[in-house]
Amino acid sequence: MSRPVAERLRDILQLRFTNLFAGMPPSVLASISPANPFMRLARVAGYTALRLVGHLFQPIRNPNQLAGATWLYVVSANNYEALKFIAEARPDAVLVAGQGKNIGRYGGIVSRLSLRRKILYYGQYPAALWGLRQLVGSRATRFFDLVYYATGYYEVYRRALRHYQPRAVVFANDHNDDARALLLACRAEGVPTAYVQHASVSTNFPPLGFDLSLLEGQDALDKYRQCGPVRGRVELVGMPKADAFLSQRNTAPQVRRVAVACNLLDELPAVADTLAYLLRELPELTFTLRPHPGDRRDFSALRQALPPLQWSNPQQENVFEFLQTHDALVAADTSTHLEATLLNVASVYYRFSPTPTLADYYGYAAHGLSEWAHSHAELAAALRRLARHKPLALYRRAAYYNASLGTPDEGHSRALALRRLSEWLASPASRT
């Protein structure tokens, strides 16, 4: 029995066993899975007490009816924003997350799938961990804490699917452990699955494994083909979450306001050094820093060290609202580059904390979407040039990433996605 469980966990944790993940900066990796095994054990103990045992006493009061509904499964606030247009358009659609999952400011709105029985499946953990070691080597024991967290999702989600019998499950994430566990559970229970791409994808992702995949553009499809066999039907529909903003593109001929976006891959000392340099060298420009919505690091020292720096609260404004008030973007590996370009905001790719495995991770520089600045001096030079003149048709560079750009469907990706989803749900294929 242990080998099938181990193989399933390998699939669920696919991204965690890649060279990309193992090669992340130590500080980033430590925030996910500490290098010290005793710290990992401490986290496992905390997870057991707060989640596995804690869930037993946590009441679940769902605001929506789950039985027979079309589930929109979310694992983050970004996922929620990517799928909420479906909930707004379809009375049968319900936004759903796992019990205790942090969905940011939307946490109280989404319905929850109980994870109380997850604790019942930990008897299989030792044998599954041993089986995983045979399959992926020492990375199984290096990341034994991540294996521990993933244990039991598949089983409780199969039980939930049998109980509620949803019409279909729509995902916006294809690589988190709980999302992959639900996908595998849907396959086992014969529940149709669909996927709405919510951000740029990577060739390190799992193979595309849904019955229907609504991708933003050719870039995503090309990358998924490199990940492995593409399952099911694929439609290129553009970026639904951008619809409301494409008619408000930036028309400023010069850059005056510069957005700076960072995420957990960007080490704070490196971000601080870059910002200090830019504020010193380009005092005529205004700089605003936006951390990733999931970044819980303490930025107070940076606030005190750089008083002229402005700040964006990602919990209060979405990325498009943030970009609308700026003329250029500086960031490393984030799909914010694509969102900026769609709004005709100049995009400059700059790696605050260079990591060999992440160089131009999404291929934005390689495909001409972003300009690549390799040093502080190159970054300042690029911004000086843009401060003199910013092209007015930068958004056209995004056509490879957004299939609706320049077509009658531009600005109407939501309607197109809803049509494709409705056609699929109404077809016999979605019920087999």
Give pLDDT tens digits along the chain (432 positions).
456 999 999 999 999 999 889 888 888 888 899 999 999 999 999 999 999 999 999 989 888 899 999 999 999 988 999 999 999 999 999 999 999 999 988 998 999 999 999 999 999 999 999 999 999 999 999 999 999 999 999 999 999 999 999 999 999 999 999 999 999 999 999 999 999 999 899 999 999 999 999 999 999 999 999 999 999 999 999 999 999 999 999 999 999 999 999 988 898 999 999 999 999 999 999 999 999 988 889 999 999 999 999 999 998 888 999 999 999 999 999 999 999 999 999 999 999 987 766 789 899 999 999 999 999 999 999 999 999 999 999 999 999 999 999 999 999 999 999 999 999 999 876 655
Work out whether the CA dihedral 216, 222, 228, 231 comes out positive or negative.
positive
Question: Which 3 state secondary structure label does DSSP give 300?
Answer: helix
Structure confidence at residue 100 (pLDDT): 93
- Give the per-residue pLDDT at 149: 98
Cα–Cα distance, 270 to 275 (Å, whole number): 9
pTM reported for the whole predicted model: 0.91
**Domains along the chain?**
2-240+414-431 (3.40.50.11190), 244-400 (3.40.50.2000)
Which tokens is 42 given? Answer: 């401490």
Residue 36: which residues within 8 A CB-CB, separation 6 or more? none
Q: Is 253 helix (H, G, I), strand (E, B) or coil?
A: coil
Rg of the Cα atoms in the chain: 22
- The structure tokens 């099938």 sit at 4
Question: What pLDDT score does 1 carry?
Answer: 44
Residue keyed to tokens 């989640």: 51
Return the H-helix or E-strand segment holding 160. helix 153-164
| Residue 3 pLDDT | 67
Say which residues have a Cβ less than 8 Å from residue 196's Cβ, sequence separation at least 6: 82, 83, 86, 170, 171, 172, 214, 240, 417
* Residues 6+ positions from 428 with CB-CB distance below 8 Å: none
